[in-house]
Amino acid sequence: MIQYISINHQNASLTDREEFLQKLETLSVGPSVLLQTCNRIELYYGDGKVPDDVARHLFRVVCGLESAIMGEKAVQGQVKDAYMTARQSGQKLPSGIHKLFECALEIGKQVRVDTQISYGAVSHSLAAIEIIKKEHIDVKTAKIAIIGVNKLNEDIIKFLKNKGAENVML
């Protein structure tokens, strides 16, 4: 039976998630898919049937329903990357895991086409940018500190630089 282990922003601190990841790396569960995002770490493993609750959970994750920002777009790409990494790692993933991830990715695409879930600020970087705009912050004169090196902050820095920000510290 396909199973998953999950820890995320709703049930664990960043420190707890980091410790969880270290423990996962010592587990021997056989062929698996490790999904790691800013706010979640999940391991999908096992063989055979995919229980409804496992499928439902991954479908909600890939659609952005379990994200800190509802409808977040980046999570679909992160799920796809995790799946592709597992496929290319040399491990022989069971057919149930293949079917689970392929269905989840297809459902994620369809939900974004058929609904408005991904309209508005659907990433942390867009939310930060909307706050800057709403508060009428003059980025040309503001002193801006950005903490952490990641894709989210890279997007924010690009936006700020395009708006003429000169005093950005990373």
Count of CB atoms within 10 A of residue 100's CB? Answer: 22
Give the confidence band of 118 by pLDDT, cuts at 50, 70, 90: low
Residue 74 sits at the vertex; the CA angle it makes with 70 and 75, to the nearest 5 degrees, is 70
What is the dotted CATH code of the domain comprising 3-114?
A: 3.30.460.30
Q: Tell me, what's the pLDDT at 69?
A: 73
Q: Collapsing DSSP states into helix, strand and coil, what is residue 151?
A: helix
Mean pLDDT over each residue of the chain, to the nearest integer: 86
| Token pair in block for residue 62 | 């890939």
| Separation of alpha carbons 127 and 155, rounded Å | 11
Residue 140 CB contacts under 8 Å (≥ 6 apart), including other chains: 163, 164, 165, 166
Nearest by Cα to 39 from 59, 11, 63, 60: 11
Q: Of 8-12, 32-36, 96-100, which gets the smallest average pLDDT?
A: 8-12
Nearest by Cα to 20 from 38, 5, 37: 5
Residue 121 pLDDT exceeds 70: no
Q: Tell me, what's the pLDDT at 61?
A: 95
Q: Tell me, what's the pLDDT at 161?
A: 84
| Separation of alpha carbons 70 and 122, rounded Å | 7
Q: Tell me, what's the pLDDT at 123?
A: 62
Residues 53-65: tens digit of each pLDDT: 999 999 999 998 8
- The domains of the chain are located at 3-114, 124-169
Task: Report residue 115: phi and psi, to 5°.
Answer: -125, 175
- Alpha-carbon torsion 116, 117, 118, 122, what sign? positive
Residues 63-103: tens digit of each pLDDT: 988 887 777 778 899 999 999 999 999 889 999 999 999 99
Residue 155 pLDDT exceeds 70: yes
Q: Tell me, what's the pLDDT at 145?
A: 86
